[in-house]
Structure 1
Amino acid sequence: MENNNSTAKTPAKLHGCGIILLLVFFSLWVIGLSAIDLFVSWTIEQSLFESSVGINDFRWIVHAIYSFLVLIPCIIFFGVVKTRRIKMIFRLWLIAAILAIFTIPMKTLYLTAQNETAILQSSSMLLLLVSLYVFKKKPDPALKLKIDKPHLIGLASIVGWGLAAPWINWGAFGSVLDTLLELIVGVIFALLVVNVIFPYYLEETQRLEKNIRISDFILDGFVVAVFLLILITALAHNGSQQMLVITVPVSGWLISAFAMAGIGKKGHGKAAAGFIAGLVIALPLIFFDMDELSLVISSGAGEALTWANKAAWVTFMSLLMLTIVLLINFRIITNLNMPRKWNHGLVLASILGSVLVYIFWGQIGFFGEKLFVILKSQTDLSIQAGVADYSTRRSAVYNALVKNANTTQTELWAKLDRLKLNYTPYYLLNAIEVNGGAIAKLMISNDPSVDRILDSPQLRPLPKTTTLEPGDISAAPTEPLWNLSMINSDKVNEELKVTGKGIVIGQTDSGVDGRHPELGDTYRGKTITDDYNWYDPWNHSTFPTDGSGHGTQTLGVILGKTTGIAPDAQWIGCVNLARNLGNPAKYLDCMQFMLAPFPQNGDPFIDGDPAKGAMIVNNSWGCPIVEGCDPTVFESTVKALMTAGIFMSSAAGNTGYYGCATLTDPLAIYEDVFTAGSINQNGELSTFSSLGPVLVDGSNRNKPDLLAPGEKILSAYPGGTYTEGSGTSFSAPHVSGVVALMWSANSKLIGNIEETTNILLGSVRPYQGSAPSCGDMIDGIGAGILDAYKAVQYAISYK
């Protein structure tokens, strides 16, 4: 750093076209590079959220290139430029570029590592602060300030209240630890900003005896804004790019205004400027979980991204309007100081205002992530597997699972009780969801009964319930649907008179519109009770409802009156994905309900009734790493369900765009689950259909098992309407529906998963379309194309 103690009264004015062009060009260079770094990193993250395979996480490389492309020119120009003010600008931006270098390691952190990101953000800024302290400039004697007490913090706090209100209103806290870590980021950011922009720039450009012009204010604000842009490019990570780039740089002029207002005052407006700087970075980080803002999770109307963007743009417009007001009334800036009583009163008023907004309009409470604790002892069901009678076997499996959980979890329950940690026990997988974060994880990770601890992500609440627009088609189809004709299920209904009667489908999805004309009559609870028939661990609804439409669509393919394969089958339902980010516990909630349903508000351990469970469970979902699942998390779970005689149909996934071995997420990867890929109306493998083999668990297993229609599938949609949908989510229901027909045609197959699977694979139609983009044919298409007519014929002939 330059150690210049010149006592010249004013920095040199800008002069010369060359030096001005250099500043303009380099400003555009920095802004453009920052935009590229932020956008490319954000884009990589969106792809990683969609698929963890086939995509290289090179965010740190992008950021490293950015850092050096900004740092090196800053060093060169700082060394060669002689114009004092321009030299100070390059020095200021050089310091910000050093922070960008320091944060390169942070860019390697995984998508959901928000706490670790906050720790490295704070550590990087502290490292820079310490470095500046070691090499700090000696104070310029010409900059000695008067000792008047500052009266700017009250005004800054009122401005801060206005900036904070939309975040408080539309956002929600994470855990106590989340909130504390992000608050620390804001405080350290504030300290960094004031300890750089004042001694290295503003204290020299805003000298006491200098008559500051409006052009000086505009330039200073711009210089600070670019400085802030470099800082947030350094710090933004795991989804925060879009929020921080909107809220932080535009505050440069307000920060400069507080510095101007503090001329001649003790502190030179540092407290007010730092407060604003810390606030604009902390508010988004505190009130929104940045990894929830990914497009795959929050792109829907009314989701978290909608509210975060709204808050960010309100903040941007507020800061922009304040800047315009300050420009129009430029001369009043130096007179913004207020009497002490007013100052104190404004601080109290802003605190009270923030509290009132939080109480009356905010989402009260802390909403952090939880832990999913998997125990070592998983139930051995080899004895129960040998029970011939279907109903008896289901009960035996349930009883064995519950007994093992009750026996092996007792000591851990006692430990959690002592630690005052709330928890939910599970039996289908011997596991416990614990309401705790990193500290709780440390306390229980060494327990001898614990195998491993996974994350259980929790979405923060929305300020308003999302509303779902009806489908774009109002009338039921009157012509045979192409997908039903392709698999010949219409022939099964018409010629063989098999419609799924006597079979109970379990639907685990976003929910179901229980009043839809296609589905309402076959809901098992319609004429009796919702007890044992409907469970909503997300929103605790007591009657089938669907907030996103996905579950209604997929169930419509299975058993819709006019859109379904097995229109006379009955169904029960469970909400495992009300919003588009699940977790292991919610998925397990519903799988337990499918095995042994229980009454509303019942206890799965005590009130479960296997006799009322589903025979076939449709799973048009996957649990990727970002939802907390590892490859083996549900392996024993699906084996237990298979042992109980429950057929598990699963969607392959929609990441085939990324190439081979993209079939990566439970449940589709498991041997004991039947996995469907997608084919279109032209008989071609859908480009989005995930491809095998399964490598994530080391099995090299061939998947999918077969193909079924999955593009432009017309089905039911909430509000009594209809719409088309695409994805392997629509392929799996075709398999579920065909199995319902098979079991309805021959009750001897009910619960016989091995023979049912053999018939499905042995009755396929050959695939005659193009080969997959890579790999072996079997890892794209499986055995071939699902054929309901042949499958039911084979089922009828089974003895």
Structure 2
Amino acid sequence: MKATKFQKAVSFFALASAFSLAGCQKEALVEEPTPKITAAEEAANTGKIIEGEYIVVFKDKGRNPTDILNKLVASKKVNQDNIKFKLEGNLNGFTGKLTKTQLQELKGNAEIAAIEPDQIISAQGVTATTVTTTTQSVPWGVSMVGSGDGTGKTAWIIDSGVSTTHPDLNVDVARSANFNPNVSGVEDGYGHGSMVAGIIGAKNNSVGVVGVAPNAKIVALRVLDNNGAGSLSYLVKAVLHVNTYAKPGDVVNISLASGASSILDNYIKQVAAKGIFVAIAAGNSGVDCSNNSPQRVNATNVYTVSAMDQNKYFYNASNFGAPIDRAAPGVNITTTGKNGTYTYGHGTSFAAPHVAGLLLLRGNAIGTNGTVIGDKDSNADRIAKF
């Protein structure tokens, strides 16, 4: 797709974003008449193909991936200027543009293990209104699932970046990284990633809110721009980064979704196989998430999370289905916001980091607290608890 067409697709994605406002559980928070944060719910554009752009994975033959890519460029099966990213890790490859002829040639190439079209990804939550603090509060979700000391533990947040100077967040800027070429740095211009971060690790201090694993170290891996737009290829690159640099016992939170992608699913499984825990938001379309990635991944150390309200009723927009491992609070969740602010919102984006915090503290020994009421499938999801 030409650059102008891609920009139009991204603009449509941003315009398709939806607001959903609800009453706020203030808990010592005072609502201000400030502008609402633009938010991207799981819109119709999630999983939409980005025309002409692909993710290509090489077969693992112990060869240097650069050598394979150089050979493809030399034979004109790939144009050097059209390569976006090299993919390096247990599975190597690249992302970029291919002509129809190049695509057909690569499909028959002995070096290639898999090719998938790139897709638009979306954030799995809805932000609402900025609030201001009077005293420190413990959000209802944290009270329900429980909490502990997150000092010395690391959460990798693949999202829109994080508010790096937020007084309530312990952000490891040195290890943070940006994978979206349309923006620079990891400072959150959208707000979604900062909300996720606070639920996981907001400090237990005298102001703001408290997270499930207070004072945990937050590493921001940015894949969404200031409008909440990103692509599957950016997400894949970020997951490979986690696979390379995270350690067993760390947690990665992915409150994003794409359409089905075996390449992404396989990379998620590789991360989990190293002993790194993965918390994934189920999505907010009110459908079975078995056809979405990485939601559909079923593997040890991987937890797909649905959302519920304060009375343990299943959130009506939450996705459901066999991939779900836990339910967690996801309605009227107060947390940290961009630019050092505080905000609240709802969606499975905010359920997943409750589980991420618990995984940091207890790993696979996290408990349960009954089941949700009104689940949309035949198996009521177990509620996560410390």
Which residue number corresponds to residue 421 of structure 1? 80
**Relative to 1, partners in 2 of residues 1:485 and 1:582: Cα closer, same or farther, differing over 3 Å?**
same
Deviations along 1:69-104, one digit per CA (max 9) or x if unpaired, are xxxxxxxxxxxxxxxxxxxxxxxxxxxxxxxxxxxx
Q: Which amino acid aligns with 2:55?
A: F
CA distance 1:646–1:721, change in 2 (3 Å): same
Specify the alignment match of 1:472 in structure 2: 130
Secondary structure of 1:587's aligned partner: helix
Q: How does 1:2-401 map to 2 (within 5 A)?
A: 174=2, 289=8, 292-294=11-13, 369-375=52-58, 377-378=59-60
2:332 corresponds to which residue? 712
Partner secondary structure for residue 552 of structure 1: helix
Residue 328 of structure 2 corresponds to residue 670 of structure 1: no
- Superposed CA offset, 1:734-767 (max 9, x none): 011112222xxxxxxxxxxxxx33x22xx20112
1:683 maps onto 2:303 in alignment: no
Q: Distance in 1 between matches of 2:176 and 2:7?
A: 35
- Is 1:617 paired with 2:275? no
After superposition, what is the alpha-carbon deviation per residue over 1:55-77, rounded to whole angstroms, capped at 9, x for unaligned?
A: xxxxxxxxxxxxxxxxxxxxxxx
Q: Which residue of 1 aligns with 2:264?
A: 634
Alpha-carbon distance in structure 1 between the residues aligned to 2:7 and 2:180: 23
1:447 aligns with 2:130: no
Residues 1:777 and 2:375 are matched in the alignment: no
Decide whether aligned partners of structure 1 residues 458 and 441 sit closer, same or farther in structure 2, where only a CA change above 3 A counts.
farther
> Could you tell me which residue of structure 2 aligns to residue 16 of structure 1?
none
Change (3 A) 1:442 1:550: same
Instruction: Tell me the distance in 1 between the aligned counterparts of 2:383 and 2:378.
Output: 16
Q: Secondary structure at the match of 2:86?
A: strand
Q: How many Å apart are 1:573 and its aligned residue?
A: 1.2
| 1:234-256 alpha-carbon deviations (Å, 9 max, x no partner) | xxxxxxxxxxxxxxxxxxxxxxx
TM-score by length of 1: 0.39
Distance in 2 between residues matched to 1:481 and 1:620, nearest whole Å: 19
TM-superposition CA deviations, 1:3-41 (whole Å, max 9, x none) = xxxxxxxxxxxxxxxxxxxxxxxxxxxxxxxxxxxxxxx
Any conservation in 2 of the 1:510–1:575 contact (CA below 8 Å)?
A: yes
Whether 1:485 and 2:143 are equivalent positions in the alignment is yes
Contact 2:197/2:353 (<8 A) preserved: yes
Q: How far apart, in 2, do the equivalents of 1:564 and 1:580 lie?
A: 23
Three-state SS of the structure 1 residue aligned to 2:55 is strand
Structure 2 counterpart of 1:77: none
Tell me by how many angstroms 1:409 deviates. Answer: 6.2
For residues 137-166 of structure 1, the C-alpha deviation after alignment (integer angstroms, 9 at most, x for no partner) is xxxxxxxxxxxxxxxxxxxxxxxxxxxxxx
SS at match of 2:242: helix
Q: Relative to total residues, which structure has the larger helix share, 1 or 2?
A: 1
1:769 CA displacement: 2.2
The letter of the residue matching 1:777 is: N
What displacement does 1:433 show? Answer: 0.8
**Is 1:410 aligned with 2:67?**
yes
Q: Distance in 2 between matches of 1:549 and 1:707?
A: 23
Distance 1:287 1:653 in 2: 24
Amino acid corresponding to residue 649 of structure 1 in structure 2: A
SS in 1 for 2:263: coil
Superimposed CA distance per residue, residues 597-652 of structure 1 (whole angstroms, 9 cap, x where no aligned partner):
4xxxxxxxxxxxx66x981111111122xxxxx34222321221122221111111
Aligned equivalents of 1:691, 1:302: Cα separation in 2: 27
Return the alpha-carbon distance in structure 2 between the equivalents of residues 590 and 290 of structure 1: 22
**Gap runs ≥5 in structure 2:** 20-35, 39-49, 122-126, 204-208
For the 8 Å contact 2:156–2:220, the answer to whether it is kept is yes
- Picking from 645, 650, 669, the partner of 2:275 is 645
Report the Cα distance in structure 2 between the residues aligned to 1:295 and 1:540, rounded to whole angstroms.
15
Q: Is the 8 A contact 2:289 2:296 kept in 1?
A: no
- Which whole-Å CA distance do the structure 2 matches of 1:485 and 1:724 have between them? 16
Moved over 4 A (4+): 294-303
Is 2:177 aligned against 1:534? yes
Instruction: Note closer, same or farther for the CA distance 1:776–1:421 as it changes in structure 2 (3 Å cut).
Output: same
Distance 1:476 1:453, change over 3 A: farther
- For residues 128 and 17 of structure 2, the distance between their equivalents in structure 1, rounded to whole angstroms, comes to 19
| Partner-residue secondary structure (3-state), 1:617 | strand
CA contact (8 A) 1:371 1:437 kept: no
1:297–1:581 CA contact under 8 A, matched in 2: no
Give a deviation string over 1:756-798, Cα, whole Å, max 9, x none.
Answer: 33x22xx20112623x24x3124xx1xx11111xxxxxxxxxx
Aligned partners of 1:451 and 1:704: how far apart in 2?
Answer: 29
SS of the residue corresponding to residue 102 of structure 2 reads helix
**Paired residue for 2:196?**
554
- The aligned counterpart of 1:362 is none
Higher strand share: 2
Q: Is this contact kept in 1: 2:176–2:219, CA < 8 A?
A: yes
* 1:431 and 2:93 aligned: yes
Taking only the aligned residue pairs, the percentage that are identical comes to 23
Q: Deviations over 1:88-147 (max 9, x none)?
A: xxxxxxxxxxxxxxxxxxxxxxxxxxx8xxxxxxxxxxxxxxxxxxxxxxxxxxxxxxxx
Q: Aligned equivalents of 1:438 and 1:302: distance in 2?
A: 40
2:166 corresponds to which residue?
Answer: 516
CA RMSD, aligned part only? Answer: 3.2
Cα pair distance change 1:668/1:448, threshold 3 Å: same
Q: Is the 1:556–1:564 Cα contact (8 Å) retained in structure 2?
A: yes
Q: Deviations over 1:151-194 (max 9, x none)?
A: xxxxxxxxxxxxxxxxxxxxxxx25xxx8xxxxxxxxxxxxxxx
Q: Please list every run of 5 or more consecutive structure 1 residues that lacks an aligned counterpart in the other structure.
A: 1-114, 116-173, 180-285, 304-366, 379-402, 460-468, 490-497, 598-609, 625-629, 693-701, 743-755, 789-799
Task: Kindly indicate whether the alpha-carbon contact (under 8 Å) linking 1:369 and 1:458 is maintained by their aligned counterparts in 2.
Answer: no
2: CA distance between counterparts of 1:631 and 1:457? Answer: 9
Which residue matches 2:233? 585
Q: Indicate the residue corresponding to 2:369 in structure 1.
A: 765
Structure 2 vs 1, CA of residues 644 and 445 (structure 1 numbering), >3 Å: closer, same or farther? same
Q: Secondary structure at the match of 1:634?
A: helix
The answer to whether the Cα contact below 8 Å between 2:188 and 2:194 also exists between their aligned partners in 1 is yes
CA distance in 2, matches of 1:568, 1:291: 35
Q: Of residues 207, 217, 224 in structure 2, which corresponds to 1:570?
A: 217
- Are the equivalent residues in 2 in contact too, given 1:506–1:573 (CA < 8 A)? yes
- Give the alignment partner of residue 507 of structure 1, picking from 152, 157, 161: 157
Between structure 1 and structure 2, the one with the greater Rg is 1
Are the aligned partners of 1:538 and 1:575 in contact in 2 as well (CA < 8 Å)? no
Q: Post-superposition shift, 1:586?
A: 0.4
